[in-house]
Amino acid sequence: MQPIPGYKIYYRIRKFLVGRIIKECGEGVVVKDKAYFGSGNNLCVGSRTQLGQNCKFQGPVRLGNDVIMGPDSVLMGITHDVSRLDIPMNDPDLVPIEKEVVIGNDVWIGTKVVILPGVEIGSHSIVGAGAVVTKSFPEYAIIGGVPAKQIGSRLPTGEEQLTYG
């Protein structure tokens, strides 16, 4: 699907506005329509990164440089405290738990990906469409599935790759 005529103007306007809302905003950031980041005070976006159409960020999220994101992706850096059985989870007095999501440089996040609190995705990785990422992955990983697992590597065969437990 091609952008509408004059799309570059809309990208500049959105980037200008977003740059005044979020915690950190690099150069050349592209913000597609309907991106949601609440107050933005916990969102850091690296240079030349693209925030996908209808994406959603909550809690602390750090995106590296050159990240591209498909539409409808969700990055959640916040969760509920499920250890307190004496307080309902929807109680406004229950303090949410923040666990920063960190996305490295040069990462492709596919359409409708969900990345949960505390996850780190290493640089140069690919997260396939529809993946639900519940744990961290190393650099150069190709990630997919529900729950997500490493299904490949972008490294040439024979090169070493670090793995997370």
Q: Which residues pair with 84 in a beta bridge?
A: none
What is the Cα–Cα distance from 77 to 116, expressed in whole angstroms? 7
- Which DSSP state fits 12? H
Q: What is the average per-residue pLDDT within 108-112? A: 97
Q: Is the dihedral of CA 121, 19, 110, 99 positive or negative?
A: positive
What is the share, in percent, of the chain residues with pLDDT greater than 70? Answer: 91
Please state which of the ranges 25-39, 42-56, 98-112 shows the lowest mean pLDDT. 25-39
pTM score: 0.84
Is the confidence at residue 19, as pLDDT, over 80? no
Structure tokens at 128: 């396939």
User: Is residue 80 annotated as a catalytic residue, yes or no?
Assistant: yes
Q: Catalytic one among 8, 12, 34, 80?
A: 80
Q: Which CATH class is domain 7-150?
A: mainly beta
Write down the domain spans for the chain.
7-150
Residues 6+ away with beta carbon under 8 Å from 33: 10, 14, 53, 54
